[in-house]
């Protein structure tokens, strides 16, 4: 009885090992010609920006030139829980902001600023105010201000433009004059005898023109090189 049981168990174990081996061999055989996903997808090419990379942010001066003051007042609604901005307004969780644009950073009477902000120095320029509103914690690590910041550059520009009207009134940057569409700024214009500017001739055109022009006649009517004088009248 024991011999019979051992025989059956042995054949069962053998069949299991054979089945496992066949399964492993078949899986390798049928997937041999199938592509495998690499551990590292793709490879880096120098000088090529990764797809989906951050686009360069428009300078705040450019956005201020076309800022919407009315929209900026609406954005300031997010700040009213901590700040006042009217002349002589009281300090709250944050300082009164009347006339703050252009004033020294972290210097408002009666308000205790954090050492992190006081260490910044300088004035609240448009650029400094933009960076502060973008991320107070990045601008002054350790600041007491808990506001996360305004992620949209247009919102920051509109808000700064409106805050500037509240006691600061600094001149905003003017919009830059964009070159005319299709105009080549670096190509000089040549003025023809009849007036109006025409494009400068290309190198090939200039060379062809030089070849087509007759050589000046030499004094004395000779063809050999000599002293060049005034052209001989026909």
How many of the other CB atoms lie within 10 Å of CB of 189?
11
Establish how many alpha carbons lie within 13 A of residue 118's alpha carbon, considering only the half-sphere containing its beta carbon.
7
Q: What is the mean pLDDT of the chain?
A: 75
Q: Which residues contact 87 (CB under 8 A, 6 or more apart)?
A: 98, 99, 167
CA dist 163 and 157 (Å) reads: 10
User: Domain-by-domain residue ranges, the chain?
Assistant: 60-164
Convert the pLDDT of each residue in 26-61 to its tens digit.
666 665 555 555 555 555 444 444 445 556 789 999
pTM of the model: 0.54
Residue keyed to tokens 């000779």: 222
Mean pLDDT of the region 194-213: 48
pLDDT score recorded for residue 221: 44
pLDDT score recorded for residue 24: 73
Q: Which residue has the higher pLDDT, 22 or 49?
A: 22
Q: Which residues contact 66 (CB under 8 A, 6 or more apart)?
A: 175
Residue keyed to tokens 């496992």: 20
CATH of domain 60-164: 1.10.760.10
Q: Does pLDDT of 152 surpass 70?
A: yes
Convert the pLDDT of each residue in 64-90 to its tens digit.
999 999 999 999 999 999 999 999 999
């Amino acid at each position: 009885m024991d011999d019979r049981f051992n025989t059956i168990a042995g054949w069962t174990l053998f069949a299991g090992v054979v089945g496992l081996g066949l399964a492993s061999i078949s899986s390798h055989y049928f997937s041999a010609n199938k592509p495998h996903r690499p551990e590292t997808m793709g490879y880096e090419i120098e000088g090529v920006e990764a797809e989906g990379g951050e686009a360069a942010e428009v300078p705040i001066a450019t956005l201020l030139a076309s800022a919407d003051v009315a929209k900026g007042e609406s954005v300031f609604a997010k700040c009213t829980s901590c700040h006042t901005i009217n002349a002589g307004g009281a300090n709250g969780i944050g300082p009164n902001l009347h006339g703050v644009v252009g004033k020294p950073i972290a210097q408002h009477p009666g308000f205790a600023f954090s050492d992190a902000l006081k260490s910044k120095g300088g004035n609240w320029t448009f650029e400094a105010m933009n960076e502060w509103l973008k991320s107070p914690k990045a601008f002054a690590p350790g600041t007491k201000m808990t506001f996360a910041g305004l992620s949209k550059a247009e919102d920051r520009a509109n808000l700064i433009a409106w805050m500037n009207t509240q006691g600061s009134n600094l001149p905003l940057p003017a919009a830059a004059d964009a070159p005319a569409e299709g105009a080549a700024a670096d190509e000089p214009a040549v003025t023809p005898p009849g007036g109006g500017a025409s494009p400068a001739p290309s190198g090939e055109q200039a060379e062809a023109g030089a070849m087509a022009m007759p050589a000046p006649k030499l004094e004395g009517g000779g063809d050999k090189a000599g002293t060049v004088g005034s052209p001989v009248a026909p």
